[in-house]
Amino acid sequence: MNQYNPPRKPASLLERAGEIYDYIPAVRTGERQEGRAEAKPQESPAGQVTRVTAQPVQRYDGPHVLVDRDKLREAGFIVPDGPVTGISEEFRIIKRQLLLAAKGGQKSMPIPRGERILICSAHPDEGKTFCALNLALSIAAEKDNEVLLVDADFAKPSILSSLGLEGSKGLMDALADPQLPVENCIIHTDIPGLAILPAGDQTNADTEYLASARTEQVLNRLTQNNPHRIVIFDSPPALSASPASVLATHVGQVLMVVKADETTESALRDALSLMGGCEHIQLLLNGTKFSPTGRRFGSYYGYGE
């Protein structure tokens, strides 16, 4: 009898980028280092059992804003509750791989700090902010997760302007001022599951602040009371600003955006070498003009692009 070989599934943008640039992501499953906290009944001095009640989830005190859906649509971003499009389907596939690494599955354990995802690129104008925002919008649609999008491009922040929002205090302010709770800098949007942490005021010591011991304390506060939160960092380009390499030491996953026909192999390898602080790196091919597999997402639903 002839041996049956199942057909190979079409490669995702992540896999196609790896093939084009001869790069194999260093994704390894990590073991959970902390045990699960379990509330146990406590016995009073009189021998009576006292029930231990769970602490309420910490609520943030930042402002609440409305996101301009028309601005999202005009810029080509995913529109919440909008029709299924090719771009929304692509990011559905991308987020699934990242969420699996962050949360684990039946056959894999979550990687350490996998809920923190850094979006980076080698040079400016390669689509990192476009990908970071679309990824955040896609994850916000999840039923079991919510997302906090952090604008970590301190020199040229653009997340708020992309959403039609005004600037406010942000991450750098919380790092510089120990009296400022980072929770109070978080902007809540009317998009269910999506919150924004702005970059904050510019400083000439952004890399030094990120390298300080306080940074890990601040970042821990973003998720310590919310195990369902995914934190996405839109970082500066790796070869243009130093904060990207420091941010890589604080996250569990790096998604390196590669612009088709523009990002050179040498630039990509230089950028990847600066991301050595994170072991789990994947490539995202952006700006492709054709699909080598003939895949055309969205047309199945009647909304082809």
Residue 105 has pLDDT above 60, yes or no: yes
**11 pLDDT exceeds 70?**
no
Residues 6+ apart with CB under 8 A from 297: 85, 86, 89, 90, 305
The CATH number of whichever domain residue 199 belongs to comes to 3.40.50.300
- Give the residue numbers spanning the domain of 261: 13-28+59-300
42: in domain? no
DSSP state of 51: P
Confidence of residue 142 (pLDDT cuts 50, 70, 90): very high
Query: pLDDT tier at 41 (50, 70, 90 boundaries)?
Result: very low
Q: How far apart are CA 263 and CA 25, in angstroms?
A: 18
Tokens 């080598």 sit at which residue?
A: 292
Give the count of domains, the chain: 1
Q: Which residue, 122, 117, 130, 149, is CA-closest to 237?
A: 122
Cα distances (Å, whole numbers) of residue 237 to 96, 119, 296: 24, 9, 30
Residue 209: pLDDT band with limits 50, 70, 90? very high
Tokens of 71: 């601005």
pLDDT at 226 (0 to 100): 87
Q: Is residue 305 part of a domain?
A: no
For residue 45, tell me if it sits in a domain: no
Phi, psi values for residue 253, rounded to 5°: -140, 145
Give tens-digit pLDDT for 169-206: 999 999 999 999 999 999 999 999 999 999 999 999 99
In a domain, 37, yes or no: no
In a domain, residue 53? The reply is no
pTM for this one?
0.79
pLDDT tens digits along 248-294:
999 999 999 999 999 999 999 999 999 999 999 999 999 876 555 55
